[in-house]
Amino acid sequence: MDGREHCKDAGKPEYMGDTVNFRSHKESYKDKKAVKNSSDEILIFRDTHESIIDRRTGERAGRDWRGMPDGTVRKTPASFNCGTYNSSRKQNDKKCSSHCIQEDAVRQILLETIRYALKSVRMDEAAFIQNMRSASEVRDKSEVKKLRTDLSKKEKRFADLDLLIKKVYEDNAMGKLPDRRYEMLSSDYEKEQQELEISMKEIREKLIQFEDDTNRTEEFLSLVHKYTDIQELTPAIINEFVDKVLIHKSERIDGERVQEIEVYLNFIGKVELPAQEISEKELAEIREKRRIRERNAIYQRRRRAKFMPKTKAILTEMDGAEKERTLAEARAQAEELPAEIIENYLRCGDTKVGGEYRQLMEEAAKTYVDKIFAELKTHGYNPNLMKLYIMGGGAKVVELVGDYDCDNVTFNHDIRANAKGYEYFCYMKLRRQKAMASAG
C-alpha cells in the first residue's frame, strides 16, 4: 500500500470518531451480494468513540487537488475541464458548459494568492486578527468575559425559577396559595424563563462564533509562521492552504478572453488579489496585440466570404460525381442480381439487398410507375375526379414509390385478382344466358 492509499484510509469517518451505518443493503435475504446505498441513505453518528486522527486533518486527508466534481481524477494534468460537463456529455445530456483552464495557469494563480495572503498577514497581524473578527459581534476577550459572566447569572436565575415554580405549585396544592395568585406567579415565572432561554441562546451563539473565529485565526497564523517564503507549490502546501477553486465560464470582452477564478483558502475564505497597475509600455504592447488580432480576424472573415462559396461548390460537385460513379458501378453490376430478388421486390416491395443496389432498384421502379401514370393520363385518367383501382403483383411497387392521392386510389395486392375478376365475369354472364333461355 502506497502513501496515497494510506491518506485515503485516514479520511474515513471511523478514524475521526464517527460511526457509519447503512452503507449497503441486500434486495432479499436470499441474496449474497450487497448493494451500496447512496449518500442520502447512509447515517453517520458523530463522536461516538475516541478518534485516532483529528477531524480537520481527516477531512483533508487524501484530497487530490486535481480531483473532478464527479469523483474522478485526471490522468493527464495538462489542463482541467468541468466534471459535470464531461459526465453529461457522455450521456448526451448537456448540463453545463466547458470550463477549461490550463494547469500552469491554476498553479500560478494559487502561488500568487498564497504568497499575497502570507505577505499581508506578516505586515500587520493585528489588522488581520481584527479583520477576521469584523463579522463577529464580539471583538475582544473583555467582551467575552462579560458575556460569560452574564451567561452564568442567567443560568443560575433559570435554575432558581424552576425551584420557585415547584414551590408555588406545592403551596397551591397544599392550600397555602390561592389559585388566582398561583396562576399569576406561574405565568410570570414561565414568561421570564422563556426570555432567559432566548437570551442565553444568543449569548452562546456569540461565544461559539468568537471561539470559531479565534481558532481559524490561530490556525492560519500557525501556517504563516510555518512557511516563510514559498517559491514552489507542492501537494502538501496546496492541501494545507487551499480549500477550493471555482472556475467560471470564459467570456469575450473587447476581443479578450476573460475568465473569472475564485480562490478560497482554508480558515479565511475567499482571497482576491489586488488589481495590478499597468505601465504605459505594457499598455502599448496590449493595444498592439489587440490591433494585430483584430486585423487578422478581419482578414479571415473576408477570406471566408470570398472562398467559402467556391469551396462549397467544389465539394458539392465532388459529392455528386462520387454518387454518379457509385450508381454507374451498381448499374454495371445489376445484371448479377438473381431474378428472384427483383421479382420479390416487385411483388412485396422489400428486399434484403442494401446500398447502391437497393437505390438502383428504387430509382428503376420509380421511373416505371411514373410511366404507368403518364400512360393512364393519355387515356383520359383525371386523378382529381376519378377513383383508381390497382390490382395484381405490381400494386405493391406502385403503392411504395408512386405519386398519388391516397383517398382516390385503392390497392388490391392479390396477384390473382385479375383472374378472379374474369372468372366472376364469366360466371355472371352464364347466369344471365341461362335466365334468358328459361324465360324464352
Give residue-wise pLDDT tens across range 217-249.
Answer: 888 888 888 887 888 888 888 888 888 888 888
Q: Using an 8 Å Cβ cutoff, are 227 and 234 in contact?
A: no
Between β-strands 261-265 and 269-271, what pairing exists: parallel, antiparallel or unpaired?
antiparallel
Q: What is the pLDDT of residue 154?
A: 92
Instruction: Considering only CA atoms, give the Rg of the chain.
Output: 44
Q: Are the CB atoms for 405 and 386 separated by under 8 Å?
A: no
What pLDDT score does 93 carry?
60
| Residues 360/331, Cβ–Cβ less than 8 Å | yes
> For the packed helices 141-173 and 179-226, what is the interaxial angle rounded to 10 degrees?
160
Are the C-beta atoms of residues 383 and 360 closer than 8 Å to each other? no
Per-residue pLDDT of 16-60, as tens digits, reads: 888 988 888 888 888 888 888 888 888 888 888 888 887 767 766
Burial letters for 387-422: b for 16+ Cβ neighbours within 10 Å, e otherwise?
A: eeebbbbbbbbbbebbeeeeeebebebeeebeeeee
Each of the 440 residues of the chain gets a pLDDT tens digit; together they read: 454 555 556 668 888 888 988 888 888 888 888 888 888 888 888 888 888 887 767 766 655 444 444 444 444 456 676 766 666 655 556 666 666 788 888 888 899 888 888 888 888 888 887 777 766 666 677 888 888 899 999 999 999 999 998 988 888 888 888 888 888 988 999 999 999 999 999 999 888 888 888 888 888 888 888 887 888 888 888 888 888 888 888 787 776 778 888 888 888 888 888 766 777 887 888 788 888 888 888 888 888 888 788 778 877 877 777 767 766 665 565 555 666 666 666 666 665 666 666 776 777 778 878 888 888 888 888 888 888 877 776 777 777 778 887 778 887 777 777 777 767 767 777 788 888 888 76
SS (H, E, C) the chain: CCHHHHHHHHCCHHHHCCEEECCEECCCCCCCCCEECCCCCCEEECCCCCCCCCHHHHHHCCCCCCECCCCCECCCCCEECCHHHHHHHHCCCCCCCCCCEEHHHHHHHHHHHHHHHHHHHHHCHHHHHHHHCCCCCCCCHHHHHHHHHHHHHHHHHHHHHHHHHHHHHHHHHCCCCCHHHHHHHHHHHHHHHHHHHHHHHHHHHHHHHHHHHHHHHHHHHHHHHHCCCCCCCCHHHHHHHEEEEEECCCEEECCEEECCEEEEECCCEEECCCCCCCCHHHHHHHHHHHHHHHHHHHHHHHHHHHHHHHHHHHHHHHHHHHHHHHHHHHHHCHHHCCHHHHHHHHHHCCCCCCHHHHHHHHHHHHHHHHHHHHHHHHCCCCCCCCCEEEECCCHHHHHHHCCCCCCCEEEECCCCHHHHHHHHHHHHHHHHHHHHHHHC
Q: How far apart are CA 81 and CA 250, in angstroms?
A: 12
Cell numbers found for residue 391? 390490382
Enumerate residues 6+ apart whose C-beta is below 8 A from 12: 58
Quick: pLDDT tens for 251-297. 877 767 788 888 888 888 888 887 667 778 878 887 888 888 888 88
Contacts of 380 (CB under 8 A, 6+ apart): none
Question: Do 158 and 197 meet the contact criterion of CB atoms below 8 Å apart?
Answer: yes
Distance between CA atoms of residues 305 and 323, nearest Å: 28
- Per-residue pLDDT at 277: 72
The HSE-up count of residue 221 (CA atoms within 13 Å, CB side) is: 14
Residue 300 CA to residue 284 CA, distance in Å, equals 24
